[in-house]
Amino acid sequence: MEINGNVPMKIDREEVWKSLFSAEAWKNAVQAEKFEQVGVALFDVAVMVDFAILKGLHDAQLMFNDIIHNYSSNFNVENKLVKTVEGTFELKHPDEVEPEEGTDSHPEGTRTILNYRLNMDAGNPLFNAAFEGFKHKIQEAFEEILARLETAVHY
């Protein structure tokens, strides 16, 4: 399952970048039990999940790679329930991104667009079908977390 989109933010590129690499910002945005930086771009995570077939406390590792400072980074999440979770974050100026369909402009005050791509493969056709069935909800939840990073940067 692949999802992608844009999250408009009222903070500048440097602040968005800072939040992407801040354990405290992610911990607040995800509402994680644990979100600890254990390497330069590696985080140990423990999150309580209650979504469809995923329930309980889940441990994972979030790793950033192919980092271009203040511009883009690939990431992957390792977790025992999902075979692969990988994606890309890219920071753009609002002039570089078309406004949301049906609108003439980005929300007032937008200074940075956080463009993302997220690809998930459960490694099981049944689970992949379940993910596809919840694709819209997963995208909404992911975008809500990313939007929370905007305020979490000022922890």
User: Is residue 66 assigned to a domain?
Assistant: yes
User: Is residue 52 assigned to a domain?
Assistant: no
User: Given 3-state DSSP classes, what are the helix, strand and coil percentages for the chain, each rounded to the nearest 5?
Assistant: 30, 40, 30
Residue 155: pLDDT band with limits 50, 70, 90: very low
Give the residue-averaged pLDDT of 69-78. Answer: 96
Q: Give the range of the structural domain holding residue 16, as residue numbers without chain letter.
A: 2-29+62-152
Tokens 């390497």 locate to 39
pLDDT tens sequence across 14-57: 999 999 999 999 998 988 999 999 999 999 999 988 766 678 89
User: Is residue 41 assigned to a domain?
Assistant: no
User: Is residue 97 assigned to a domain?
Assistant: yes
User: Is residue 54 assigned to a domain?
Assistant: no
Predicted pLDDT at 21: 93
Q: Does the pLDDT at position 3 exceed 80?
A: yes
- Name residue 39's beta-bridge partners: 42
Predicted pLDDT at 154: 57
Residues above pLDDT 70, as percent of the chain: 96
* Pick from 11, 63, 55, 65: nearest CA to 37: 63
CATH number of 87's domain = 3.30.530.20
Query: Do the Cβ atoms of 148 and 33 come closer than 8 Å?
Result: no
The model scores a pTM over 0.85: yes
Number of structural domains in the chain = 1
User: Is residue 67 assigned to a domain?
Assistant: yes
Predicted pLDDT at 153: 65
User: Is residue 47 assigned to a domain?
Assistant: no
Query: Do the Cβ atoms of 119 and 85 come closer than 8 Å?
Result: yes
User: Is residue 84 assigned to a domain?
Assistant: yes
